[in-house]
Structure 1
Amino acid sequence: MSNFRFKALEIAQSRQAIAVAPPAERVGDYYGINTFNKEVMRALLSPEAYLRITEAIETGGKVDRDIADEVAGAMKSWAISKGATHYTHWFQPLTGETAEKHDAFFDITMDGKAIEKFKGGALVQQEPDASSFPSGGLRNTFEARGYTGWDPSSPAFLMDNGAGGKTLCIPSVFISYTGEALDYKTPLLKSLAALDKAATAVGQYFDRNIDKVTATLGPEQEYFLVDRALFYARPDLVLAGRTVFGHSPARGQQLEDHYFGSIPPRVNAFMVDFEFEAMKLGMPVRTRHNEVAPGQFEVAPTFEEVNLAIDHNALLMDLMEKVAEKHNFKVLFHEKPFAGINGSGKHNNWSMGTNTGVNLLAPSTKPKESLRFLTFLTNVVKAVHDNADLLRASIASAGNEHRLGANEAPPAIVSVFLGETLTKALEDLETKNEISLNKGDNVYYKLGLNRIPSLMRDNTDRNRTSPFAFTGNKFEFRAVGGSANSASTMTVLNAIVADQLTRFKQDLDVRLANGEKKELAIVDILKQYYRASKRILFEGNGYSEEWVEEAARRGLSNIKSSPEALAVYVKPESLALFERTGIMGHAEVESRYEIELEKYIKKVQIESRVIGDLAMNHVVSTALKYQNKLAETARALVDLGMNAEAEPIKDLLREISTRVIVIKQKVEAMTETRKKANNLGDTVETARMYATEVKDFFEVIRYEVDKLELIIDDEDWPLVKYREMLFVK
């Protein structure tokens, strides 16, 4: 096995950057060329059809079947002209991955002639087999029928199959035969509609011209890159997506010299390549850079409407994996693929904008605009405060459980950072009945260097330790995991804010009906909201133990276990919230809870099996072979009368024996505990047992294995080491 490790290293070290040529000189010449966007529709559809389809996209109106037929015809002609041979409804089932079933445009007529066929019916609706997708008990396994339905608001796109030919991908929802959502997109779309309705109603208190509010999102994606040869030499990476063993290298991220450092040539070539392909698909990626951990990087997009942004992020992850293969890399999206260094998040930058061009979370110095801003800001804070546990549930997963609370990730405690200026503004509102949101004069740094242009300082600093931080004109939810589909979190965030804004409108309408002046009534309601929710505001170091203690004194939750967090979904108050906002019924929420528990169980189960396999079949067997080598050396020294010289070797033999015994005992105990958990017959209790009793063995076994890595000869060690995976670029 060690030969395999060194062969993988030899291959990895010999690789060179692959040259990448831009598709055209200007980005504008190839941006969106593989998307069926508005420009394409305008060119291929009749004026009436184009008007009706764009109205449906912008207002959420119904798409008539006759319009669907014309769109399907145009879509088919466009796709075939670009080399497409198949089409698919591209959807996001609750597996956490995207899904697709390819059908050929090719068909045979009654007289045996070949034709290309794609009608409105095929565009609007498809029927993938739903029996093998997670349903959380909504459907029996033998009940196979499920439907995908076209989402016109997310442009269809062409995906290159890599081996000739392209496939037309049509973003779609996925529902069961009985109508319940079996995907991430359907509840997300409903939550966006609920937020639009509630935010528009509140916005009209300030501007009657507001008739639509659109939530926007910019999901920053962190990831690791590992050479393909090294990846396949680590069975844990292949099967579990993370390393279950591996001693920290002498040099990790402590120098922090990787962050924003010079991008390695091979990595840069990969980045350039996938950005070219992303631009062709209309995905506006803008920023690339090294992250803090060695081997870790980040890509960030321009803000888009939430539904489109989430589709693009799911597509981007798939695209990155395909392009990485071309460059002999593997992309790791797991939240904590390597112990002891930073994990990967998906920082969700969320805001709300009106049809009048106003960002509702952008501060202003004008009194009326300031009151509007504080109204939306305070309602968001109140929504997060009242539903912090539900927001925590939305980010719960087996992978994120390894990341949350580590020294680089936000803790499991949900808190909100506003910054000094906004916090003071809310305090003044509460104590003085006045709005003191005033940017004042611009503040510039005095560097004493005349040749350097003046640098302006923002009103507030950033707080990267906060899970939910205000960053100027948006909130950044940093606690979302790197491998997650952001739709789950955004559905919850949209839902709780929509529900809170609806409650605000109800409170305000009662006061207005009693004859109170609108501005005074709003201020008084905001004072009450701030007073009731200000304990969730925190400006300090969220990584510190002091904050954990302070949060407990404040009565804030610190739910560390994923099964415990997920249980919040099925609390009566959560079920009631989803129902009254029209986003999900009880059965749909309960099914998601069941699905997430099953996913958690399976992922921890896989990790447990990988740990047992690697520990016994790779590490222990190697340790015993190395022990035999040492024993022969010690015996030879004793035979030569060199007893003193043999003692250090005997000490090593004893240490190896002791550690091997512990590993064997703990692996056997873990296996028995896993069997017991599997036989419980109760998903909730099985998940709890995996989260506590089974996982309790992980670090104990790892500790012994990682110590053996330091003892056994490097030439004999079977697993690719951290220093090799993280620093071979």
Structure 2
Amino acid sequence: MSGYQTRQTAIAAVTNFKSDLKPLNFTETSPTDVFGSNVFNDKVMKNMLPKDVYKSLMATKKTGEKMDPAIAGPVAAAMKEWAISKGATHYTHVFYPLTGLTAEKHDGFLSPDDEGGAIAEFDAKLLIQGEPDASSFPSGGLRATFEARGYTAWDVTNPAYILENPNGTFLCIPTAFVSWKGHALDKKTPLLRANQAINKAGRRFLDLFGNDDGNMVVSNAGPEQEYFLLDRNFYFARPDLMVCGRTLFGAKPAKGQELDDHYFGAIPRRVLAFMMEVERELYKLGVPVKTRHNEVAPGQFEIAPIFEQANLATDHNQMIMTTLKSVAKKHGMACLLHEKPFAGINGSGKHLNYSLSSATQGSLYSPGDTPHENMQFLCVTAATIRAVEKYSALLRSVVASAGNDHRLGANEAPPAIISIFLGEELAEIFNQIELGDLKGCKSKGCLEVGVDTLPALPMDSGDRNRTSPFAFTGNRFEFRAVGSNQSIAGAQVALNTIMADSLDFVSDEIEKLLKKKMPLNEACQKVIQGIMKEHGHVIFNGDGYADAWQKEAAKRGLPNLKTTADALPAMIAPEVVDVFEKYEVLTKDELHSRCEIYHEQYNQHIQTESALVVKVAKTIIMPSAVRYQGELAATAASLKAAGIKSITPALAEVTELVGNLDTALVALEKLMEKEDFKSIEEEAAYKTSKILPAMLAVREVADAMEGIVADDLWPLPSYQEILFIK
């Protein structure tokens, strides 16, 4: 079958696709009844647990009190009863290893009763602790290869839930994952530790303003998840998409996203059916998804939940990614979470909306109607400015990955330079404080649209800045640099830890001034003034895409860590190790292990991609070009024999491209032979500076071929077909 026939078969399958899924009956069960129906939530526990057990459990969840081990037995019994009533036959401790994926090992409830039957067993010990084999999960040198034992520990702060399968259901118990010696081997453990740190520092900070009422200070997250959808027929016809999650070849189509006609457009019928099923499955799991829409690039979409407490939001985001992929299969599609699956058009991020709050104070980032008078808000914002400037390299390192390197700095993502956008109103206030002359700020006012039938619109204090990696958006900050395929845990661990450090710094400085009998407001302004003078250069309200910002940022001394190889060493810088150890979030050994793991993952990604570039170019693209070259040569010979002017220019062009492709492949393969690296860091730098440019050189020739080789010979589905045929 020719390349053209292969592509036409895929196109026919896509255009003739008819779902055999039974339509969901939304009138049978209302969304409010569906929501949380598969979650062992507070309402279920209140009905099923003894009052004293429920009260003790809630105290642990809501105030951070140490869990009473005595409650585990009654909770396990109720959880088992509830799960079996939902049809569950197995349970699993769900955890999030440093692969970035979700992991689970299933165990059955049933055990033989020695009378030919079986009984369901699930006790406190099985609930609290599991023992998965940790040998095949990355540890970064924290343990020897032969040391296989690992433990999962019940995360009492997040609810258990039921996952459905066409042939049954099973109980999922959120857990932390640690080594036999207690080292964190996962994403959750350091997040729980960082949550403790921000609670302690936050309550101390609030106490200065008389607002520590015993409620926990928590971090909240609302990750906007972007993704691509394409038909599985195209997906399986592209080895690069199957193996690497992104296209290693592909010429720019005649039409991409230039007309901006996809963004917020009417959602395609097939895609909307997929979205509705995704949402219904997530509703069952209590995931508060709120928004769905077309994103900028053709074939790109977004789903966004409501704000939640950080740990729960992290678990829920993992559920969202898993559900997107599994439901896409049912609808004959593939979901791509790679940060840059298609060159030349927008990639996908995961905008992490971040805030700190307490049950009574609400968001600590809420400025109120008169932000210039809200010293608590100004101080916590100043603490954020200090944290982001002082640890900007760390924030860049926690979003570093092979995929995200293709996205950061492009026109759909913030640059690799970490800066803060405050907006006009807040920037004016902080500028006044820095100059020692706080006067106030402009009133927000209303926007008159100029149409009598339309209402006046309340204006925000400033416009949004989509080019900023860390932007204030009203009552929270939006960290826009997180990659779509990444767990949000890493970013939150870093933010909570450095915010705990900065809040403690602010508290220390204010307390010193209060001891000197300085009034609280005056002390706050003095501390903010000091922060602005030392760290205020991280604030940038302009165009982050402009070349001028690169030069300006360099003058300000802001790091510009463009690649993963540049960024990862910041994770183990002495000041970073100090702050993580100070707040007992990650030890020096744990940080070094993660740095090593992420280097290994980066190197393996590039190794896999480069090997596939060679294989696809040699076995798929080159043969097609040579066949076309042969056709042109035969035609030229026939025309010449007939005394007709030949098509020499076209033949010469193809011949030159074939030669260039062969040369580029030889150069890439030669570079790939190097193995004598002194360190994993040296290998990463080599792959960044040598392998990636050589891969790109191969791609440039191959993409040029796509524009000249006869369409009936070109083997790979094109961008035009993949992105626009639904």
State the TM bucket, normalised to the shorter chain.
over 0.9
State the shift of 1:367 in Å.
Answer: 7.6
Aligned pair partner of 2:226 in 214, 222, 226: 222
Counterpart selection for 1:691 from 688, 691, 706 = 688
Q: Which runs of 4+ in 1 moved over 4 A?
A: 366-369
Measure, in 2, the Cα distance between the counterparts of 1:208 and 1:449: 45
Amino acid at match of 1:551: A
1:375 matched residue in structure 2: 379
Distance 1:516 1:527, change over 3 A: same
Paired position in structure 2 for 1:293: 297
Secondary structure of the residue aligned to 1:70 is: helix
> How much has 1:57 moved relative to structure 2?
1.2
In structure 1, the gaps of 5 or more residues are none
**Partner-residue secondary structure (3-state), 2:450:** coil
Instruction: Classify 1:715/1:368 alpha carbon distance in 2 versus 1 (closer, same or farther; 3 Å).
Output: closer
Q: Tell me which amino acid in the other structure corresponds to 1:453.
A: P
1:200 and 2:200 are equivalent in the alignment? no
Q: Where does 1:376-455 land on structure 2 (aligned, <5 Å)?
A: 376-434=380-438, 436-437=440-441, 440=443, 442-455=444-457
Q: 1:253·1:292 contact (CA, 8 Å) conserved in 2?
A: yes
Cα gap change, 1:367 to 1:631, in 2 (>3 Å): closer
Could you say if the C-alpha distance between residues 452 and 153 of structure 1 is closer, same or farther in structure 2, counting changes exceeding 3 Å? Answer: same
Alignment of 1:295-334 (within 5 A): 295-334=299-338
Instruction: Name the residue aligned to 2:714.
Output: 717
Contact kept in structure 1, 2:613 and 2:695, CA below 8 Å: yes
* CA–CA distance in structure 2, aligned partners of residues 370 and 320 of structure 1: 42
How do residues 181-580 of structure 1 correspond to structure 2 at under 5 angstroms? 181-211=184-214, 212-365=216-369, 370-434=374-438, 436-437=440-441, 440=443, 442-580=444-582
Distance 1:635 1:715 in 2: 21
* Residue 49 of structure 1: how far off its partner (Å): 0.9
The CA distance in 2 between the partners of 1:553 and 1:681, in whole Å, is 34
8 A contact 1:130–1:146 mirrored in 2? yes
Aligned partners of 1:248 and 1:137: how far apart in 2?
43
Pick the aligned partner of 2:131 from 127, 130, 140.
127
SS in 2 for 1:330: strand
- Mapped partners of 2:217, 2:441: distance in 1: 24
CA displacement 1:119-171 (0-9 Å, x = unmatched): 1111110010000000000011111000001101111111112x311111111
Q: Would you say the 8 A contact 1:30–1:279 is kept in 2?
A: yes
Q: Which residue of 2 aligns with 1:596?
A: 598
Aligned to 2:586: 584
**Partner-residue secondary structure (3-state), 1:671:** helix
The alignment partner of 2:279 has SS state of: helix
Which amino acid is the alignment partner of residue 175 of structure 2? S
Q: 1:539-688 to 2 correspondence within 5 Å?
A: 539-642=541-644, 644=645, 646=646, 649-676=647-674, 678-680=675-677, 682-688=679-685
TM-score (norm 1): 0.97
Shift of 1:280: 0.7
Residues 52-63 of structure 1 aligned to structure 2 (within 5 Å): 52-63=56-67
Counterparts of 2:577 and 2:506 in 1: how far apart (Å)? 20
Conserved 8 A contact 1:404-1:479: yes
Distance 1:291 1:207, change over 3 A: same
Measured after TM superposition, the shift of residue 448 of structure 1 is: 2.8
Write the distance in 1 (CA, Å) between the matches of 2:135 and 2:453. 68
SS of the equivalent of 1:630 reads helix
Secondary structure at the aligned position of 1:568 is classed as helix
Deviation at 1:513, TM superposition (A): 2.3
Q: How far apart are residue 27 of structure 1 and its match?
A: 1.8
Q: Secondary structure at the match of 1:543?
A: coil
The change in CA–CA distance for 1:331 and 1:23 in structure 2 (over 3 A counts) is: farther
Answer yes or no: is the 8 Å Cα contact 1:364–1:437 preserved in 2.
no
Code of the aligned partner of 1:715? D
Aligned to 1:104: 108
The correspondence for 1:150, drawn from 144, 149, 154, is 154
- The answer (yes or no) to whether the contact 1:68–1:124 under 8 Å persists in 2 is yes
Partner amino acid for 1:547? W
Over 3 Å counting, the alpha-carbon distance change for 1:705 and 1:429 in structure 2 is: same
- What one-letter code is carried by the residue in structure 2 that aligns with 1:503? F
Q: Does 1:12 pair with 2:14?
A: yes
Please give the per-residue CA displacement for 1:420-475, whole angstroms capped at 9, x wherever unaligned.
1000011111224426256x3x5222233211122222110000110000000000
With 590-599 and 5-14 compared, the bigger mean Cα shift is at 5-14
- How far apart, CA to CA, are the structure 1 residues paired with 2:192 and 2:573? 23
User: C-alpha distance in 1, partners of 2:433/2:361?
Assistant: 27
Shift of 1:115: 1.0
Once the two structures are superposed, residues 210-249 of structure 1 have per-residue CA deviations (whole angstroms, 9 ceiling, x without a partner) of: 3321111100000000101110110000000000110011
Which position in structure 2 is the counterpart of 1:173? Answer: 176
Contact 2:163 2:171 in 1 (8 A): yes
1:164 corresponds in structure 2 to: 167
How far has the Cα of 1:592 moved from its partner?
Answer: 0.2
Return the TM-score normalized by structure 2: 0.97
Measured in 1, the distance between the counterparts of 2:224 and 2:150 equals: 33
Query: Equivalents in 2 of 1:368, 1:688: separation in Å?
Result: 47
Shift of 1:67: 1.1
User: CA 1:275/1:413 → structure 2, altered by over 3 Å: closer, same or farther?
Assistant: same
Q: Is the Cα contact below 8 Å between 1:365 and 1:437 reproduced in 2?
A: no
Q: Secondary structure at the match of 1:166?
A: strand
Is 1:114 the equivalent of 2:118?
Answer: yes
What is the CA–CA distance in structure 1 between the aligned matches of 2:161 and 2:69, rounded to whole Å?
21
**Distance apart, 1:109 and its partner CA:** 2.9
Relative distance call for 1:375 and 1:113 in structure 2 (3 A) is same
Tell me by how many angstroms 1:586 deviates: 0.4
Mapped partners of 2:418, 2:153: distance in 1: 36
Distance 2:24 2:723 in 1: 24
Tell me the SS of whatever aligns to 2:453.
coil
> Would the alpha carbon gap of residues 318 and 435 (structure 1) be closer, same or farther in structure 2, given more than 3 Å must change?
farther
Q: For structure 1, which segment, 362-371 or 689-698, has the greater mean C-alpha deviation from structure 2 after superposition?
A: 362-371
Task: Describe the superposition over 1:323-355 as per-residue Cα deviations: whole angstroms up to 9, x where unpaired.
Answer: 111111110010000000000000000011113
1:37-92 superposed Cα distances (whole Å, 9 cap, x missing partner): 00110111111111111111112233333311111111111111111111100000
Distance 2:59 2:6 in 1: 59
**3-state SS, counterpart of residue 627 of structure 1:** helix
Distance 1:65 1:419 in 2: 49
Deviates more, 1:682-691 or 1:134-143: 682-691
Instruction: Note if contact 1:22-1:276 (Cα within 8 Å) is conserved in structure 2.
Output: no
Provide the C-alpha distance between the structure 1 equivalents of 2:516 and 2:594, rounded to a whole number of angstroms.
43
Instruction: Tell me the distance in 1 between the aligned counterparts of 2:488 and 2:594.
Output: 15
CA distances 1:287-324 after superposition (whole Å, capped 9, x unpaired): 00000100000011000001100100001100111111
- Write the distance in 1 (CA, Å) between the matches of 2:281 and 2:306: 16
Task: Give distance in 2, aligned partners of 1:724 and 1:532.
Answer: 53
Q: Shift of residue 110 of structure 1? A: 4.2
Distance in 2, Cα, partners of 1:357 & 1:573: 32
